[in-house]
């Protein structure tokens, strides 16, 4: 792809920027009690901030995402950012109208401070010396970025999956700054089943012979473990029905089975491909830290077992969207959030979109989801002015 | 925003009476709100704070288009999370006969609303009675347009049924204004409503309903 055939509804060429803060001795205090500093966050912005700063939207990504949510980083890029279906001129997050900020997370590996960064105290990569970070810590770091950009109030904070968790946390941690929340395929806590899958993924990394206690930055990397972790993840992002329809029991090349252990079923090939693709762009240690942050996230536990208490002081309006075939973040978990909000008399829209595409639906070009977001934002924006 | 034609919402069953009934600035919950038109009108004409529950994905989507807060869900399977008296009015407009558990839905309605507005097609209407008596088959007309095997109206009732129900459960009836639709307009029916009115229309007075019970789904 070159710059000449970038589609008209794309934000076009974008640059990932970074912001560094929490320089010692004013480090970021983490939920665990430890401190971290300096902290760098990578981010991208699309569209223009209006004069009264009332059109800013913060977009937050899921486990394996990055700040690159829309457009292309270079004319050679084959694929646009992870939420390009949703962000751009005339799209759900209309960049002609809104100023969109997409932020990475602390603990990540795409430009932000994480286990692959150099620990200023030792001069070496943090590795497993990197402190455990939580969703709350990610949000607290993003607060610095948002304030750095001169924004006092966000029209919306949005994201899917872990991005939705961050958005919910934003409304709780900084109620006065968040006018509305759009959380897709999200939850107030991951299920035991979800934690189980994350743990198997982490074990795959730990048990890779090249893992070396997390100190692998100067030798061979635990690629096998990380790609296996990604394969496990991918199973949970899709639905049974989708796998059946897309791959079925079809074999890759031949009509008849080869009677050996080569990867011959289409679904095997797909998973292997996903695993291999992933190791080129993600750090195994970051995968450990971020899955752990997801596992620890529990709004109920933060408020003595009451989700109703967790949302008591929020003042945001909410759009909560779930997808029928999502078994990793099932609709019941979204409904639980919505009910806690209803008990508190908050303004909330909930819709369950029928989809066969599983958890990953929120990343796909789904017209109903886009229309709902577009309409919700329009009325929130009218309210803000 | 697109303005609705006066006649368009006036012709929708029950809308005219409900709009007249609800004071300005009320907090309103519409159970089974469909495309949200009633709530939209209440928001614009009565400056009401509006909320809806709707079972269909498309209905919720249309509510969003109108800037309404709507929950996609089944009113039979949960209203328990709303706090008592959290709405000035809870509306059940042409919805009650479609619910699986009308007893439960009304119990919750009385708990969460200070007042309830309940309107439904009257199965005791003379047209229905005559059709059943002379035809001997399940009556079908403008009020009940469905065949027996495809009707969503699974709990048919008459105006008298509902009056007796309210007495039995101690729900104070604040007002009754039963009506028929003529050329797209509601016409009040005062004499022999259970025989002559196509639709029952009740305002239940939750303020006078003190002995609230737990609602068992």
How far is it, in rounded angstroms, from Cα A96 to Cα A58? 16
- ipTM score for this prediction: 0.91
- Judged by DSSP in three states, A102 sits in strand
Please list the residues that pair with B175 across neighbouring strands. Answer: B203
pTM of the model: 0.95
pLDDT digits (tens, 9 = 90+) for A68-121: 999 999 999 999 999 999 999 999 999 999 999 999 999 999 999 999 999 999
If asked whether residues A329 and A231 sit together in one domain, one would say no
Residue in chain A closest to B84 (alpha carbons) equals A343
Query: What CATH number does the domain containing A107 carry?
Result: 3.40.50.1820
How far is it, in rounded angstroms, from Cα A150 to Cα A158? 19
Q: How many CB pairs under 8 A join A and B?
A: 57
How far is it, in rounded angstroms, from Cα B63 to Cα B95? 17
Q: Is A161 a catalytic residue?
A: yes
If asked whether residues A233 and A380 sit together in one domain, one would say no
If asked whether residues A139 and A238 sit together in one domain, one would say no
If asked whether residues A252 and A112 sit together in one domain, one would say no
If asked whether residues A164 and A304 sit together in one domain, one would say yes
A chain contacts of residue B84, beta-carbon cutoff 8 Å: none
Taking the mean position of all CA atoms in its chain, how far away is CA A150?
Answer: 24
pLDDT digits (tens, 9 = 90+) for A242-296: 999 999 999 887 777 888 888 889 999 999 999 999 999 999 999 999 999 999 9
If asked whether residues A207 and A182 sit together in one domain, one would say no
If asked whether residues A129 and A214 sit together in one domain, one would say no
Asked if residue A294 belongs to a domain, the reply is no
**Domain housing A266:** 198-289
- Judged by DSSP in three states, A45 sits in strand
Asked if residue A275 belongs to a domain, the reply is yes
If asked whether residues A25 and A130 sit together in one domain, one would say yes
Examine the fold and report which residue of A264, A289, A314 is the final residue of a domain before the chain moves on. Answer: A289
- How many domains in chain A? 2
Examine the fold and report which residue of A268, A289, A310 is the final residue of a domain before the chain moves on. Answer: A289
A chain contacts of residue B60, beta-carbon cutoff 8 Å: 349-351, 372
Give yes or no for a contact between B144 and B153, defined as CB atoms under 8 angstroms apart. Answer: yes
Q: What are phi and psi of B6, to 5 degrees?
A: -50, -45
End-to-end distance of chain B based on CA atoms, in angstroms?
39
How far is it, in rounded angstroms, from Cα B63 to Cα A12? 33
If asked whether residues A24 and A112 sit together in one domain, one would say yes
B6-123+156-207 classified as CATH 3.30.420.80: no
Give yes or no for a contact between A41 and A145, defined as CB atoms under 8 angstroms apart. Answer: yes
If asked whether residues A228 and A142 sit together in one domain, one would say no
Q: Is A295 a catalytic residue?
A: no
If asked whether residues A129 and A35 sit together in one domain, one would say yes
Interface check for B71 against chain A (CB to CB < 8 A): the answer is: yes
Please tell me which of the candidates B57, B67, B81 has its beta carbon nearest to residue A354. Answer: B57
Examine the fold and report which residue of A269, A289, A309 is the final residue of a domain before the chain moves on. Answer: A289
Q: Is A326 a catalytic residue?
A: yes
- Judged by DSSP in three states, A239 sits in coil
Q: Where are the domains of chain B?
A: 6-123+156-207
| pLDDT by position in tens, chain B (length 217) | 333 444 456 568 999 999 999 999 999 999 999 999 999 999 999 999 999 999 999 999 999 999 999 999 999 987 999 999 999 999 999 999 999 999 999 999 999 999 999 999 999 999 999 999 999 999 998 889 999 999 999 999 999 999 999 999 999 999 999 999 998 889 999 999 999 999 999 999 987 776 666 787 6
If asked whether residues A121 and A266 sit together in one domain, one would say no
Contact B81 A339 (CB under 8 A): yes
Q: What are phi and psi of B212, to 5 degrees?
A: -70, 135
Question: Which one of the listed residues A223, A224, A302, A326 is annotated catalytic?
Answer: A326
Length of chain A counted residue by residue = 385
Please tell me which of the candidates A339, A354, A372 has its beta carbon nearest to residue B64. Answer: A372
Taking the mean position of all CA atoms in its chain, how far away is CA A258?
Answer: 40
DSSP H/E element including A46: strand A39-46
Among A214, A148, A210, A136, smallest CA distance to A172 is for: A136
Give yes or no for a contact between A86 and A370, defined as CB atoms under 8 angstroms apart. Answer: yes
Give yes or no for a contact between A266 and A250, defined as CB atoms under 8 angstroms apart. Answer: yes
Please tell me which of the candidates A350, A372, A375 has its beta carbon nearest to residue B71. Answer: A350
B chain contacts of residue A340, beta-carbon cutoff 8 Å: 81
């Amino acid at each position: 792809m070159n710059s000449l055939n970038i589609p008209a509804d794309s934000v076009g060429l974008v640059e990932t920027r970074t912001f560094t803060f929490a320089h010692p001795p004013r480090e970021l205090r983490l939920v665990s009690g430890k401190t971290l500093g300096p902290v760098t966050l990578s981010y991208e912005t699309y569209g223009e901030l209006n004069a009264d700063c009332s059109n800013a939207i913060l977009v937050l990504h899921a486990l394996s995402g990055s700040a690159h949510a829309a457009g292309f980083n270079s004319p050679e890029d084959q694929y646009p950012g992870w939420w390009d279906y949703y962000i751009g001129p005339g799209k759900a997050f209309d960049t002609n109208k809104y100023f969109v900020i997409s932020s990475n997370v602390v603990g990540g590996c795409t430009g932000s401070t994480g286990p692959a960064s150099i620990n200023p105290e030792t001069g070496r990569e943090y590795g497993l010396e990197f402190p455990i970070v939580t969703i709350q810590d990610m949000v607290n770091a993003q607060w610095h970025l948002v304030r750095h950009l001169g924004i006092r109030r966000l029209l919306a904070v949005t994201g899917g999956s872990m991005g939705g968790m961050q958005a919910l946390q934003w409304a709780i941690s900084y109620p006065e700054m968040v006018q509305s929340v759009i959380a897709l395929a999200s939850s107030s806590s991951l299920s035991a089943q979800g934690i189980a899958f994350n743990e198997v993924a982490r074990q795959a990394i730990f048990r890779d012979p090249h893992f070396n206690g997390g100190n692998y930055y100067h030798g061979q990397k635990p690629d096998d473990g990380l790609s296996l972790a990604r394969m496990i993840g991918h199973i949970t992002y899709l639905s049974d029905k989708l796998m059946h329809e897309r791959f079925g029991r079809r074999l890759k090349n031949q009509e008849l089975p080869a009677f050996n252990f080569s990867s011959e079923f289409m679904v095997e090939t797909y998973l292997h491909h996903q695993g291999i693709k992933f190791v080129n762009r993600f750090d195994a240690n970051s995968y450990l830290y971020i899955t752990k942050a997801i596992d620890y996230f529990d709004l109920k536990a933060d408020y003595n077992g009451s989700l109703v208490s967790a949302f008591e002081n929020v003042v945001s309006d909410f759009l909560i969207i779930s997808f029928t075939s999502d078994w990793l973040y099932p609709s019941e978990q979204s409904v639980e959030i919505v009910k806690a909000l209803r008990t508190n008399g908050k303004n909330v829209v909930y819709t369950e979109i029928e989809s066969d595409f599983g958890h990953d639906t929120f990343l796909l070009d789904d017209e109903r989801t886009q229309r709902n977001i577009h309409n919700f934002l329009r009325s929130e924006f009218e309210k803000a002015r | 925003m697109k303005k609705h034609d006066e006649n368009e919402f006036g012709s929708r069953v029950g809308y005219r009476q409900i709009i007249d009934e609800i004071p300005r600035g009320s907090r309103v919950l519409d159970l089974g709100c469909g495309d949200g038109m009633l709530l939209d009108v209440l928001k614009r004409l009565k400056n009401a704070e509006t909320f809806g529950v709707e079972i269909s994905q498309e209905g919720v989507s249309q509510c969003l288009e109108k800037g309404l807060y709507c929950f996609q869900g089944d009113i039979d399977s949960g209203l328990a999370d709303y706090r008592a008296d959290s709405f000035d009015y809870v509306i059940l407009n042409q919805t009650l006969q479609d619910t699986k558990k009308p007893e439960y839905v009304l119990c919750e309605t009385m708990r969460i609303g200070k007042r309830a507005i309940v309107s439904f097609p009257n199965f005791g209407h003379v047209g229905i009675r005559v059709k059943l008596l002379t035809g001997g088959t399940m009556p079908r007309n403008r009020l009940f347009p469905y065949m027996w095997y495809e009707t969503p109206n699974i709990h048919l009732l008459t105006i008298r049924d509902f009056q007796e129900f309210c007495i039995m459960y101690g729900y104070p009836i604040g007002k009754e204004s039963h009506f028929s639709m003529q050329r797209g307009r509601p016409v009040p029916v005062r004499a022999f409503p259970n025989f002559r009115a196509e639709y029952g229309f009740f305002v239940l007075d939750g303020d006078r309903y003190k002995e609230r019970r737990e609602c068992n789904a």
